[in-house]
Amino acid sequence: MFNSIPGYTFISYLGKGAFGAALLVERNIGKCDCSFFRKRRFLDKRQYAAKQILLTSQQDRDDAKKEAEVLKSLSSNFITRYTDFSIVQVGASSCCYIVMEFCDGGDLRGKIQYFKESKKAIDDSLVVIWMAQVGMALSYCHNRNIIHRDLKPENIFLMKDGVTCKLGDFGVAKALAFTNGMTDTMNIGTPMNFCPELFNSQAYSNSADIWAFGCALFEAKFFYHPMSPQDGSQLNFATLSGMVRTY
C-alpha cells in the first residue's frame, strides 16, 4: 500500500482496513532551495490525518470526490476540518487521499474501551459535553440538508484535551435533494445503528442521525450498545420493537 501524498510527508499509520488506511502526515511548506524556505519547512510541524481510499472502479472515484466535496462545504468547530484532496496513480493502481484536521485524542470508541477495561465510569458531565458538541455538528449539517448516515463512536474524534470532540468521516453522508427532506431507502451505514425506517425499507430523513446519536450516547454512558442481538433478525426485531438491553 503506497503512502506518497503530494505536498505531505508520511509519518505513520493511524489505522488500516480492507479498502484503505488512515495516515498521520505532515504538510511540506516551501520547495525552494534557499535556506529561508528550508528552515520554514523544517519548522512546520502541523500534522494532519489523511484518509486513504483504494480506487478500484469509477464509482469509487465518484464516491471519494463526493465525500471530499461534502467535507469542503462544511465549516464548523464541531466537524473535522477539510484540508486537501488528491488522487495518486502508481502503475495500474490508484488511490485518493482526503486530508483533514488531525484529532490527537483518538476517538470515542477508544475512550469507551479504555474506561470499560479500567472498570471506571465516565463522568456524566463529560458525556454531556461530548454529545453536546456532536449535537451541534449534526444541527449544522442538518440545517444544510446533509445527513451523516454513519454516526458512531468510531467517527467521533477527540482532541488531546479529552474534552473537545468533532464529528468526522463523511464517507456515506448524503445531501438531501428533495424538498421534503427525505432520502431513499438504501441501507447505508452501520446496521447496529439503523433506524426503524431502514428496517422497514422506508424513506428516511435526518432523524436517522438522531437515532444513531442516541445509540452513541447510550454507549458512552453504559459501555455497551443498547441493542446487541446475535444476528440480523434479532437486530431487526430489537430495533422495531424498541427493545433495549438492560444488562
Supply the residues annotated as catalytic. Answer: 150
Residue reference for cell 529561508 = 36
DSSP letter at 149 equals S
Task: Tell me the β-bridge partners of 50.
Answer: 23, 99
Helix, strand, coil percent content, the chain, rounded in steps of 5: 35, 25, 40
Cα separation, 93 vs 52, in Å, equals 13
24 close to 12: Cβ distance less than 8 angstroms: yes
Helix intervals (H) in 74-206: 108-118, 124-142, 196-199
CA-based R_g, the chain, Å: 20
